[in-house]
Amino acid sequence: MPFTYKRVIRFGDTDAAGVVYFANMLSICHEAYEASLVAANINLKLFFSNPASAIPIVSTHIDFFRPLFCGDEVNITLQSQQLSSDKFEIVYQAFGINEQLIAKAITRHVCIDPSLRIKQELSEEILLWLQN
């Protein structure tokens, strides 16, 4: 079952045309990712500062179907999928209050040893998160 994150678009999320700037939508998707980790009882401070493991985003893609404006409410669903022993992806879908699809994004993450910068297997903690 996908995780859902509720968010109101802020003025700072928008560009000069008054719509959400594409990079800010990816940042909002990352907020949803972080919220899903918290919901799985993962300590964010330890997760993002782990000296033995890092999980950077190595690829991203986003499509917009409708504009988002300051004050709009959005529900972002995310569904994760393990791709290999060291890689997973997350598919995000942003829906407006009328349940219309506004945007869809994908991020791909690879687990690495942060000091050696080489790939390593995903931790048990993230594997459990992927299963839920």
Quick check: is 15 catalytic? yes
Residue of 15, 63, 72, 86 marked active site: 15
Cα–Cα distance, 79 to 77 (Å, whole number): 7
Neighbours of 17 (CB within 10 A): 9
Closest Cα to residue 20, out of 59, 62, 57?
62
CB 41, CB 11: distance < 8 Å: no
Name the one residue in this structure whose structure tokens are 């493991």.
Answer: 53
DSSP, collapsed to helix, strand or coil, labels residue 115 as coil
The answer to whether 53 touches 123, Cβ cutoff 8 Å, is yes
Instruction: Kindly state the DSSP code that residue 20 receives in the 8-state scheme.
Output: B
What positions carry a catalytic annotation?
Answer: 15
